[in-house]
Amino acid sequence: MQDDNLIKQTCKELNLTYKQLGELIGYGEGAVKNSASTGNVSEPMQHAIKMYKRILELENELKNTNQIKQGLKEWLK
């Protein structure tokens, strides 16, 4: 993925507005809009977006693991 499309791609992928993305990664709506329109995404903002996406992946993995764990508990009864 190209860095200049990172914000637009992330918002589209996660179905978020610029304001929502900004709140989730600790930036204001204006900063996110400006970066999206100019294609100039700072390294800290790129890192924040990548870390937020990683957190979502890990939360999903944990949810799946807990479902498997619960299924095994039920099966072993």
Question: With contact defined as beta carbons under 8 Å apart, do 49 and 67 qualify?
Answer: no
**Residue 44: which CATH number?**
1.10.260
What domain range is 57 assigned to? 3-76
pLDDT means per 10 residues, the chain with 77 residues, are 74 97 97 93 96 97 94 90
Residue 17 CA, distance from chain mean position: 12
Report how many domains make up the chain: 1
The pTM of the full predicted model, rounded to 2 decimals, is 0.81
At residue 1, the pLDDT reads 42
Strands (E), 1-77: none
Q: What percent of the chain has pLDDT over 90?
A: 86
Q: CA 60 → CA 6, 34, 55, 56, 57, distances in Å?
A: 21, 30, 9, 6, 5
